[in-house]
Chains A and B, each alone.
Chain A
């Protein structure tokens, strides 16, 4: 099952036989006070730095979220997408829970976008899925519904099945459905990550769908988060996770993903791994030469 995302200059394929797809999480004002104030004032200049850092860090796709309260989110998101597309040819993950913002984002985006996200709630799916169908986009869906976030993997599987039926009903190919099996912080529940890993495994087994999740969530509230994130991703990949909305600016985390690609047979003969090594050595040599 291949989820194909495009921009005018690039095609990214997410799949169980592909290297892991790193979706850079940084262009998001949640928890970034200064960025929020800038966006509220119509100043999008900080985005440029975020794009450069994430591209350099090795992101394959960039998530763009403009969720600032008391602003015109559709207009802001639309403007941000145009800006990001002028800076990079990486495909974009359009991130909002506001339907009008998703609509504006999809109308602006050049190429086939990934949309983040819809829940398994009937009324949300009825709003979002027609939009996905109309624009031929791909959609991230979360297996939670009206009753809350299900704790166990089995419950998440049940809602995933419901999502699969709805997506089929709307005539969207299952290749364009990416399930977010829900990553919660292990700091609030010692079993949280185990449930997530189990859900990934079951969804892979039963539906073979592509999956993504907010990887940094797992370490919320804990110290030295980078090490936890770097340990989590290879484990999730081994279970069948094919992508993550994640920190793509921290080398240790990106390296653990690329190492897992090689170890899991997704980077045959270590071609990418060796290429990265050579590039790093070359950069080091150039730096020493200076």
Chain B
């Protein structure tokens, strides 16, 4: 297979969520001297972008998105250490968790998949994440963005509690905070003092990229 054929096959197999084939092609590409960032940016990320676009149009469904994400994750496990060696810059680190009192994770997982698919380094700290756990994870992982998910009107107030705790710990200026979940609205995100909100996984990726670009621009200015 030529390198172009491998890229094409990786794109196609990721699109249909064929994890074994994606892993095999990734290993094959590396063995044949392809750079890990070529595999990531020319095949995997465009494929996941296509998955997201199809999902947004209603042409793809939740299971298809999940298996594409799983296929990509398998490849990323191979690529991540290699990318770190070459010092390739990631798009950003995204710390994600469902708030305390809430166990819903389907939406959060979909957003994680799309973020990884867009090249983010995603750290998922799970469900029922207490405020102090968010704070500890921010200190440990130094994320660019903290994402909080809530599925219930009763657990949404945890956004505010978490943001308060993050502020109290002196970390508010270091992170961008995004919120989301079925009952969450832009208005609510504004009220609790979040920096960003998205109603679906694809939009979340777009907003995350915009917020990071804005922050980096303001820091360098």
Known contacts A147-B128, A148-B127, A185-B106; A68/B62 CB under 8 A: no
What B residues does A97 contact at CB under 8 A? 152-154
User: A150 CB to closest chain B CB, in angstroms?
Assistant: 10
Known contacts A147-B128, A221-B61; A30/B106 CB under 8 A: no
What B residues does A148 contact at CB under 8 A? 103, 127-128
Closest to A149 in B: B103
Closest to B127 in A: A148
What B residues does A70 contact at CB under 8 A? 187-188, 191
What B residues does A73 contact at CB under 8 A? 153
User: A245 CB to closest chain B CB, in angstroms?
Assistant: 16
What A residues does B185 contact at CB under 8 A? 69
A219 to B101, CA, bound (A): 24
What B residues does A185 contact at CB under 8 A? 62, 106
User: B202 CB to closest chain A CB, in angstroms?
Assistant: 14
What A residues does B161 contact at CB under 8 A? none
- The secondary structure that dominates the B interface is loop
A98 to B103, CA, bound (A): 16
- Of the candidates B66, B103, B109, B183, the one whose C-beta lies within 8 Å of that of A30 is B183
The CB with the most chain B CB atoms within 10 A, among A149, A220, A221, is that of A221
Count how many chain A residues have C-beta atoms less than 8 Å from C-beta atoms of the other chain: 21
A147 to B129, CA, bound (A): 10
- Of the candidates A69, A98, A149, A222, the one whose C-beta lies within 8 Å of that of B63 is A222
User: Interface code B45-78, partner A: CB below 8 Å = 1, 0 otherwise?
Assistant: 0000000000000000111001000000000000
Q: What size tier do the contact residues of chain B reach?
A: 20 to 34
Answer yes or no: A223 CB below 8 A from chain B CBs. Answer: yes
Contact across chains for B66 and A188 when beta carbons are under 8 A apart:
yes
Closest to B191 in A: A70
A235 to B153, CA, bound (A): 32
The CB with the most chain A CB atoms within 10 A, among B66, B103, B127, B153, is that of B153
User: Interface code A216-229, partner B: CB below 8 Å = 1, 0 otherwise?
Assistant: 00001111000000
User: B95 CB to closest chain A CB, in angstroms?
Assistant: 19
- Of the candidates A69, A147, A222, the one whose C-beta lies within 8 Å of that of B153 is A69
Answer yes or no: A54 CB below 8 A from chain B CBs. Answer: no
Closest to A150 in B: B103
Closest to A145 in B: B103
What A residues does B62 contact at CB under 8 A? 185, 187-188, 220-222
What A residues does B154 contact at CB under 8 A? 97-98
18 A-B interface contacts by CB (under 8 A): A67-B153, A69-B183, A69-B184, A70-B187, A97-B153, A98-B153, A98-B154, A144-B103, A146-B128, A148-B103, A148-B127, A148-B128, A188-B63, A188-B66, A188-B109, A221-B61, A221-B106, A223-B61
B residues apposed to A, CB below 8 Å: 61-63, 66, 103, 106, 109, 127-128, 152-154, 156, 182-185, 187-188, 191
